[in-house]
Amino acid sequence: METIMISTRRIPLWAPTIALALALGGCDGAPEGEPATPGAPAADPADVGKETITVDQETQVARAVKVADNHVRVDLFSREGEKLFEVDIRPTNGDDETLTWRLFPGTASMQTSLPETSGGFPSPYEEIPSLEECAQAAALIQGKVSAIINGPEYDSWGCDLPVRGLTSCGPKGRCCDTHDDCYARHHCNSSSWWKPWPFASRACKACNSAVVSCFTHVLPIGRSVCCARGTCGRPR
């Protein structure tokens, strides 16, 4: 089982670091006023006093901030502290795009040829999930958006782009099968993760919203069918 290091704090006081990979692990600490995780830059002064966690996602760092009772912002940084991605999560409100993201160009994100770009879809959450779950959802969205921008469109068996702990043969692998079935039913492709080109249909946005919810809000539902078939990662 992979381990994700999470440090929980109320700025400016640092609490012990909590390690978990969907379950609790060991702990360590960090000096007051310094980030507990390498690569996490100093906190935004506007976030002082707000509930915050810093999550070590192995190749990058996520910081989730509870901006308000109905708003969580997640910033994703490279190990060098370069901001890569930002996700704002609010409760669902009909067809309104209450889950939005921004991708920032930069060396670490390999987006030097693109300007800052953004998108969104209706939030799957009637209530905001935990900060840990928000950080996980942000990493999933970032992975999907980056994949379509950097590479060809894809539709492979299982989870096309594994996120730490969210793999085809993990306890949530079947979420990917449900997502693939939704895409096939509504004639979607991976570009529906990225706006404004092309504009995704309401149904395709709903497919993406549902898989984010499945990975972060649903109990383990089993592995992808591709694990037993030996087809994970192969074209459908």
The Cα–Cα gap between 205 and 235 comes to: 22
What is the per-residue pLDDT for 217?
A: 78
What is the per-residue pLDDT for 226?
A: 93
Report the Cα 183 to chain-centroid distance in Å: 20
What is the per-residue pLDDT for 199?
A: 67
Calculate what percentage of the chain has a pLDDT beyond 90.
36
pLDDT in tens, 79-92: 888 899 999 999 99
The residue among 78 and 19 whose pLDDT is bigger is 78
Residues in the chain, total: 236
The Cα–Cα gap between 172 and 119 comes to: 25
Give, for 229, the enclosing helix (H) or strand (E). helix 225-229
Question: Does the pLDDT at position 25 exceed 70?
Answer: no
What is the per-residue pLDDT for 150?
A: 66
| Other Cβ atoms closer than 10 A to 204 | 22
Question: Does the pLDDT at position 134 exceed 90?
Answer: yes
Q: How confident is the model at residue 8 (pLDDT cuts 50, 70, 90)?
A: very low
The residue among 8 and 179 whose pLDDT is bigger is 179
In 163-224, which residue ranges form alpha helices assigned H by DSSP?
173-186, 202-217
The residue among 201 and 131 whose pLDDT is bigger is 131
With contact defined as beta carbons under 8 Å apart, do 157 and 223 qualify?
no
Calculate helix-pair angle for 173-186, 202-217, nearest 10 degrees: 170
The candidate with the shortest Cα–Cα distance to 189, out of 176, 198, 158, 227, is 198
